[in-house]
Amino acid sequence: MAKGKAAGTHPAALHGVPRLKPLLEQRPGDLRRVAVFRALQLGDLLCAVPALRALRAALPEAEITLLSLPWAHELAKRLPRLIDSVVPFPGFPGLPEQPFEAESLPPFLHWAHERRFDLAIQLHGDGRTTNTVVDLLGARWTAGYRMPDAPARPNFFVYPDRGHESWRYQHLLEQLGAPQVSTAVEFPLLTEDVTEAREAVPGLAAQVDALAIHPL
């Protein structure tokens, strides 16, 4: 019987070249300061929770800083085991989520360089504009998605145009070497949330299993 490729063998191994481990497996001890860029509103940011969960599982001792819109402090208060801190992003040309504050960008980038991030991960779209933002942070390593026609680069993978948003970014973390984790999206409530809800909705029962609000 003719010899063929062994099942599951990486092509490089067939030529005597050792297969490189994904970034998060190669250097977990070197990735102590991690920036995650996703400057989006609530629904879109919640879709990144599984990816943040995978990142924490891969780097349990790392300090994870979320670069996002100012409101994201509220999410960090609810997910302290996944996010250590939030730093407001001042906007960037081509990103519509917030006005671009040109005078605030240089101090922000100066702060990022002073912070000396070991890794900056782009979790904000296909990379057409946002990979430039991540590159400007001055991190030792960068990672994320890129467009199919963009030049290949280490730790950047072609953006999948199908699938749920939460799957896309969890899949990105798995390609970087993070373990598979729960796909659940979570937004834990704080005591003040319950108090505010009862004040806003008179007569709200003391015990509520679920409450959905859909403002039009």
Residue, of 26 and 113, whose pLDDT is higher: 113
Top pLDDT among 184 and 16 is at 184
Residues found in the chain: 216
Higher pLDDT, 162 or 122: 122
Report the half-sphere exposure of 125 (CA within 13 A, side-chain side).
14
**Which has more confidence, 21 or 100?**
100
Q: Please give the pLDDT value at position 61.
A: 93
Global pTM reads 0.83
Report which of residues 167 and 211 the model is more confident about. Answer: 167
Q: Residues near 21 by Cβ (< 8 Å), separated by ≥ 6? A: 177
Q: Sort residue 35 into left (φ over 0), alpha (ψ -120 to 50) or beta.
A: beta
Please tell me the distance from the alpha carbon of residue 191 to that of residue 24, in angstroms, as a whole number: 36
Sort 22 into a burial class: Cβ within 10 Å, 0-12 / 13-18 / 19+. Answer: middle
> Terminus-to-terminus CA distance in the chain, angstroms?
67
15-53: pLDDT as tens digits: 444 446 799 887 668 899 999 999 998 889 999 999 999
Q: Which two tokens stand for residue 137?
A: 């942070």
Quick check: 83 pLDDT over 60?
yes
Q: How far apart are CA 115 and CA 13, in angstroms?
A: 38
pLDDT of residue 146: 97
- Mean pLDDT within 64-85: 94
In whole angstroms, what is the distance from residue 116 CA to residue 113 CA?
A: 5
Taking alpha carbons only, the member of 147, 206, 164, 138 closest to residue 48 is 164
